[in-house]
A and B are shown apart, each in its own frame.
Chain A
Amino acid sequence: MTTSTEIIAELERRVAQRRQEGKYPLGLEQQLEAEFKAIMDVVHRGSDVLEDVRQLLNRCKEELASLQNPVSVKSRIPGFGIVHWVIGKFVGRQTAAITLRVRTTLETQQDVLELLLKQLEIQQGTDVRVLNQLSHAMQDRLMMIDALAQSVIELERKVAKGS
């Protein structure tokens, strides 16, 4: 067995035999190629994910800032000011409690995003699948908080308008 052609044929026979024996798992080469491609994706698009997290963080900060509208107790109807004042205080206590909870959650969310951003900036080689999951999870949670915060804001505005 000396020619290259004969050697190659023998090597291919061995590969087939070892595949049957399970020494070369099915799809091994494809798996290795996929691993490398995932790394290439992260290296080339890592900055896009970082930008996504930065934008989420900014949105979080904006939502926090918009939760600070004061509840107005003035009324357009003479004599009803006291009623609106009472209602406003009553509603204000309720919304304040909700707002406080939303604010606390948003602040926690902001802390988490800032930590994540720092971690990503330090470790840009994190697997793209992990990054995407984290990014999606954060986006899902923020969307829920966003919807809740928006409801509170609308409620506050209605109360302020009504007085």
Chain B
Amino acid sequence: MARPVIHQVLIGASEGDAITQMALAVRNELRRFCDSDVYALWRHGDVMRDECRDLNEYPTSESVDLTVYHSSIGWHEMTDFLKRRQEKIAISYHNITPSEMYVEFNPDFAADLDLGRQDLVDLRERTVIAVADSEFNARDLETFGYQDIHVVPAGFIPSRLEGEPYDFEILQQMSRRFPNGYVVAVGQILPHKRIEQLIESLHVMNSTYWGNIGLVICGVARQEMYRVAISKFHQRCAMVDVHFAGQVTDQQLSTFIRGARMYLGMSDHEGLSIPPIEAMSMGVPVVVKGAAAVPETVGEGALVLPADAGPILAAEAIHEVLNNDQFRWSLIHRGFQRAKELEARAPSSRTAELLLAAAQ
């Protein structure tokens, strides 16, 4: 009896990208029961060219039982691709950032976000199953008319980075540059991630308490204008030294996180928020702004600031975590427990079960 064929499609695949990692984890689980690959319009780097196939090589509809579309933004070529498909479609929804956050400074990107939302509307009638990363994302997907949405953070593996060996060169460099230690943040350099608030928070903290704590930001800059603005703003905030690590390998990311004194997140919008959980999994205390799906994801495992928190409250929180030993150890313990709790839910196998049933 022929095995089912279930493939996943992405707009872009890159190492370190959360959605890419989740798709690959689901693929690995699916391959236990069916033929499965991940296809992408763009595959960044040799690793992705090995792990993922070119979308132009996607098989015909007759030879595919189910196509899983990972939705997080729109792109015309992907829209055209999906419109041509005749097989069953599944949606894995990772949240589309509201376009209002970008319309002023990047209208083209805002248009891509709106296109992604239109794609969801257009695909609704052909979608046989919808999976959302979080309750927050499920509520968002419902606004497009989707029903019976399964809430499973597909392919999410909190302990993903735990087995990575240390990069000692990075540890030495960071130790020399930041003798008092550093705070780490992980995420793409995008406006809704509020990178400027990360810098402001450390600037205010160091100014008030003379902490001389550094900041390391791991993540690729997707929008040049915002990156330039952040770079110039950093020069204005004299009380914080910031290392922009850019795109990093899993080993480097793991090292940066484990070498940090704490993790900080000030994003205004997240559909799931994976990096704080990965930090918790490795025993790093986490402080995050409680926007969108963040509180749902981190639970009691992090210090969750109000959704409208600014750099002053964040600065006080950083100081508290770094100087209140009892609280810091309590936070580390709770974070570790939360990561293990999420891991135990085995989202990859649960997602694979749902997709296999839908493909029948």
Interfacial chain B residues near A40, Cβ < 8 Å: 105, 225-226, 229
Q: Which residue of the partner chain, among A1, A2, A29, contacts B312 with CB atoms under 8 Å? A: A29
Complex Cα gap A17–B317 (Å): 15
Q: Which residue of the partner chain, among A14, A15, A28, A35, contacts B233 with CB atoms under 8 Å? A: A35
| Given A8-B306, A28-B312, CB of A44 within 8 Å of CB of B105 | yes
Whether the Cβ atoms of B236 and A35 lie closer than 8 Å is yes
A65 at the binding interface (Cβ < 8 Å): no
Whether the Cβ atoms of A43 and B303 lie closer than 8 Å is no
Q: Which residue of the partner chain, among A12, A23, A36, A43, contacts B313 with CB atoms under 8 Å? A: A12
Q: Which residue of the partner chain, among A7, A14, A35, contacts B303 with CB atoms under 8 Å? A: A7
How many whole Å from A33's CB to the nearest CB in chain B? 8
Whether the Cβ atoms of A2 and B330 lie closer than 8 Å is yes
- Taking residues whose C-beta sits less than 8 angstroms from the other chain, chain A's interface range is 20 to 34
Interfacial chain B residues near A2, Cβ < 8 Å: 326-327, 330
Complex Cα gap A44–B306 (Å): 30
Mark interface residues in A11-34 (1 if CB within 8 Å of B CB, else 0). 110110010000110001100100
Whether the Cβ atoms of A7 and B208 lie closer than 8 Å is no
Complex Cα gap A18–B229 (Å): 30
Mark interface residues in B298-324 (1 if CB within 8 Å of A CB, else 0). 001011111000111100110010000
Q: Give chain B's interface secondary structure class.
A: helix
Interfacial chain A residues near B310, Cβ < 8 Å: 29
Interfacial chain A residues near B204, Cβ < 8 Å: 24, 28
**Chain B stretch 288-305: residues in CB contact (< 8 A) with chain A:** 300, 302-305
B200 at the binding interface (Cβ < 8 Å): yes
Complex Cα gap A8–B232 (Å): 32
Whether the Cβ atoms of A15 and B313 lie closer than 8 Å is yes
How many whole Å from B300's CB to the nearest CB in chain A? 7
Q: Give chain A's interface secondary structure class.
A: helix
Whether the Cβ atoms of A39 and B232 lie closer than 8 Å is yes
| Given A4-B304, A23-B208, A36-B196, CB of A11 within 8 Å of CB of B229 | no
Whether the Cβ atoms of B208 and A43 lie closer than 8 Å is no
Whether the Cβ atoms of B320 and A11 lie closer than 8 Å is yes
Give A24's nearest chain B residue, CB to CB: B312
Whether the Cβ atoms of B233 and A39 lie closer than 8 Å is yes
| Given A23-B208, A32-B311, CB of A43 within 8 Å of CB of B316 | no
B228 at the binding interface (Cβ < 8 Å): yes
| Given A24-B312, A39-B232, A40-B105, CB of A7 within 8 Å of CB of B225 | no
Complex Cα gap A32–B312 (Å): 11
Complex Cα gap A39–B229 (Å): 6
Interfacial chain A residues near B236, Cβ < 8 Å: 35, 39
Q: Which 9 A-B pairs have the closest CB atoms?
A: A29-B310, A11-B316, A43-B229, A36-B196, A125-B232, A40-B229, A39-B229, A32-B200, A43-B228
What are 9 of the A-B contact pairs (CB < 8 Å)?
A4-B304, A12-B313, A15-B312, A24-B208, A28-B312, A29-B200, A39-B229, A43-B232, A44-B105
Chain B residues packing against A (C-beta within 8 Å): 105, 196, 200, 203-204, 208, 225-226, 228-229, 232-233, 236, 300, 302-306, 310-313, 316-317, 320, 326-327, 330
New A-B contacts (8) at CB < 8 Å, excluding given A24-B204, A32-B200, A43-B232: A7-B327, A11-B313, A14-B316, A24-B312, A29-B311, A29-B312, A36-B196, A43-B228
